[in-house]
Amino acid sequence: MSKTSITHNKLLNKYLAEKKLLDDYRKDAVNEKMPVVDNQVARFIEVFCMLKKPKNILEIGCGCGYSSYFLIKNLGRGQYTGIDLNKDRLLRAREFLNGIYGQKTMHFCHGDALQIIPTLEEKFDLVFIDGAKYQYPDYLKSLMGKVGRSGFILADNVFYGGRVFRPACSSHHQNSLSGISEYLNLVSNRNNFRTRLYDIGDGISVSEVWL
């Protein structure tokens, strides 16, 4: 067998091992009714991090750590900070990620992101938002001064099941829809942000910060 074939097989084996790990973890999370990001979104943020090479990453709403896996995968000497309101999910994320990325610098914060973010001293060059949808505008406002120039803010579920394209929705979804709509209006301000929307999963927005 040639060296090329051996290398190719090692690459495939590594991919298959990772796929099984993630498929099993995702299945367990879904069975336990823990929210996880769409797989296309997960791979999108993995590639985004591989290309942009952020050194300081903040995740708002890290849940059980499934999306965090892809944010941290290509992290070098920088650090990752994950915030979640659900203590059990956060502990699950810490255990999962420490078992894989124990050599990397990771911090996990339990509590309300709007109270925690002002206490963080770091400046982040990548933020991934996947918390309470009605709070998206408040998350964004709390991040001002916490994201360096030419940093990026990614927000998940900005299509909200397609409801952002409809003239009306039920009262049950109104607060979340209003929050997402306001968030999109804020990041459309070209003086502060350069934003693009991508039809991946339930919609993801990518905003480059110009502050």
Tell me the Cα Rg of the chain: 18
Where b means 16+ CB within 10 Å and e means fewer, 21-36 reads ebeebbeebeeeebeb
**What is each CA distance from 204 to 31, 120, 174, in whole angstroms?**
25, 25, 19
Nearest residue to 157 (alpha-carbon basis) of 205, 202, 207: 202
Would the pLDDT of 2 be above 70?
Answer: no
3-36 pLDDT, tens digit each: 555 556 888 999 999 999 999 999 999 999 999 9
Structure tokens belonging to residue 32: 């336990």
Q: In the predicted model, is pLDDT for residue 196 greater than 80?
A: yes
Of all residues in the chain, the percent with pLDDT exceeding 70 is 95
Is the pLDDT at 118 greater than 90? The verdict is yes
Residue 179 to residue 172: CA distance in whole angstroms:
13
pTM equals 0.93
Which of 204, 183, 181, 206 is closest to 195 using CA atoms? 206
d(CA 102, CA 95): 10
Decide: residue 131, CB within 10 A, 0-12 exposed, 13-18 middle, 19+ buried.
buried
Q: Which long-range contacts does 76-79 make (Cβ < 8 Å, 24+ apart)? A: 77/105, 78/54, 78/105, 79/55, 79/104, 79/105, 79/106, 79/107, 79/122
CA distance 42 to 185: 25
Residue listed under structure tokens 């991090």: 49
d(CA 211, CA 209): 6
Q: Please count the helices (runs of H) and the strands (runs of E) in the chain.
A: 7, 7
DSSP letter string over 67-79? HHHHHHTT--SSE
The mean pLDDT value of the chain amounts to: 93
